[in-house]
């Protein structure tokens, strides 16, 4: 009799635990999307529709591009377990060199090639450090970020800002609407490309395995060096596109360009529901959803006319809410790596 009772209690406990886990996982998966919808709805109401006006949607599409491009590309790197804090520095260096190439040649195409080449060279450098040097990778990226900034200062000499209007041949100017269309098209194409690579080629699976546990990934036969190089190249594509579109939009580059992108990318990934330690919960959508959430939030708060302090407090609180909800689905008892 007592044994039957204990068995029933254990069974009930197991069911309850399973149900709680499913609920928590479901809530965690839905949280980033729910957070985005909530932010959009709340600010659309508070701003009486100004948030969703055509001109603001155009503005937001151009604003989101920088963080979104970098974050989508960074999903590969963070997913593989590499904590990269030098993304902002890479965008800045690529933008400055790209701008100088455009000014020297008067050609967007040459400028894009320069931006792409710089981004890929930097990615190769980072991947070599990540693959072969047995030091926590984020330490390298902190140093690299400083080196990139110093390089930019050296390249710019006595200039504080580079203007594309000083190009040897006039470079075409894109108006507000054209820039919005270009931004949306490029972002959509890059997002689809990354989803395909991540979901329908082995790279995504390998990256997630490496992020989960690099030792077991090696023991499973994954070539971690090749995978590392590939994930950094994917990130470099995002950096290059972001830097190029940034130049098209602002037509300037300075040592402060993309100064906050590094942290924005990390915040975007977390808001998008992806753990920064990478692993199996890595998803491409995290980069896009998180970047859009940040942009909508910033835009909404600015439209409301809050003071700087109020904006920072409100933004911090929203981040805490989304991260708390997302964390409901994190596994709290991992085996030691």
Q: Which residues bind another protein (CB under 8 A)?
A: 42, 46-51, 53, 55-56, 58-60, 62-63, 66, 153, 156-161, 163, 165, 175-176, 246, 249-254, 256-260, 298-299, 302-308, 310-314, 317-318, 320-321, 324-325, 328
Nearer to another protein, 119 or 254 (CB): 254
3-state secondary structure of 253: strand
Q: Which is nearer to another protein, 19 or 260 (CB)?
A: 260
Nearer to another protein, 119 or 326 (CB): 326
Shortest Å distance, C-beta 273 to another protein: 16
Residues 94, 97, 100, CA angle at the centre, nearest 5°?
145
Q: To the nearest whole angstrom, how small is the minimum distance from the Cβ of residue 58 to another protein?
A: 8
- Cα-Cα-Cα-Cα dihedral sign, residues 303, 309, 310, 315: positive
Residues 6 or more apart whose Cβ sits within 8 Å of residue 202: none
Question: Given the structure tokens 């904590």, which residue do they identify?
Answer: 83
Minimum distance from CB of 210 to another protein (Å)? Answer: 31
Minimum CB separation of residue 263 from another protein in Å reads 12
Q: Which is nearer to another protein, 6 or 312 (CB)?
A: 312
Measured from the CB atom, the residue of 201 and 256 that comes closer to another protein is 256
CB atoms inside a 10 Å sphere around CB 146? 12
Q: How far apart are CA 224 and CA 55, in angstroms?
A: 46
Q: How many Cβ atoms sit within 10 Å of the Cβ of residue 20? A: 11
Using the minimum distance from each CB to another protein, give the nearer residue, 61 or 224.
61
Closest CA to 98 of 233, 250, 261: 250
CB of 298 to another protein, least distance (A): 7
The 8-class DSSP code of residue 333 comes to S
Q: Which residues, listed in sequence order, are joined to residue 162 by a DSSP beta bridge?
A: 253
**Phi and psi angles of residue 282, each rounded to the nearest 5 degrees, phi first:** -65, 135
Instruction: Give the closest residue to 174 by CA, choosing from 237, 116, 108, 238.
Output: 108
CB of 194 to another protein, least distance (A): 22
Judge contact between 78 and 272, C-beta under 8 A. Answer: no
Least separation, in Å, of the C-beta of 66 and another protein? Answer: 6
| CB of 134 or CB of 307, closer to another protein | 307
């Amino acid at each position: 009799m007592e044994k039957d009772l204990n068995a029933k209690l254990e069974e009930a406990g197991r069911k309850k635990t399973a149900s709680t886990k499913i609920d928590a996982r479901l809530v965690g998966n839905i949280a980033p999307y729910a957070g985005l919808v909530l932010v959009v709805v709340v600010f659309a109401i508070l701003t009486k529709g100004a948030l969703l006006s055509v001109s603001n949607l155009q503005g937001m599409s151009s604003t989101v591009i920088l963080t979104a491009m970098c974050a989508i590309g960074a999903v590969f790197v963070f997913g593989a377990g590499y904590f990269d804090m030098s993304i902002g520095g890479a965008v800045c260096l690529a933008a400055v060199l790209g701008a100088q190439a455009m000014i020297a040649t008067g050609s967007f195409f040459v400028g894009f090639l320069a931006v792409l080449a710089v981004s890929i060279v930097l990615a190769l450098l980072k991947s070599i450090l990540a693959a072969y040097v047995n030091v926590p990778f984020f330490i390298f990226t902190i140093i690299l970020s400083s080196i990139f900034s110093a390089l930019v200062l050296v390249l710019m000499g006595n200039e504080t800002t580079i203007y594309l209007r000083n190009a040897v041949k006039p470079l075409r100017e894109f108006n507000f609407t054209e820039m919005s269309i270009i931004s949306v098209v490029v972002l959509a194409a890059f997002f689809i490309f990354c989803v395909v690579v991540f979901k329908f080629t082995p790279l995504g699976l390998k990256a997630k395995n490496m992020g989960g546990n690099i030792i077991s990934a090696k023991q499973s036969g994954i070539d971690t060096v090749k995978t590392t190089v590939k994930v950094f190249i994917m990130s470099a594509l995002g950096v290059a596109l972001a830097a190029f579109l940034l130049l098209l939009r602002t037509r300037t580059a300075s040592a402060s360009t993309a100064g906050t992108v590094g942290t924005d990318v990390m915040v975007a990934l977390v808001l998008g529901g992806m753990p920064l330690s990478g692993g199996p919960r890595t998803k491409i959508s995290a980069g896009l959803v998180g970047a859009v959430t940040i942009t909508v939030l910033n835009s909404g708060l600015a439209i409301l006319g809050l003071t700087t302090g109020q904006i920072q407090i409100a933004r911090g609180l929203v981040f805490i809410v989304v991260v708390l909800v997302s964390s409901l689905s994190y596994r709290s008892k991992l085996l030691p790596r």
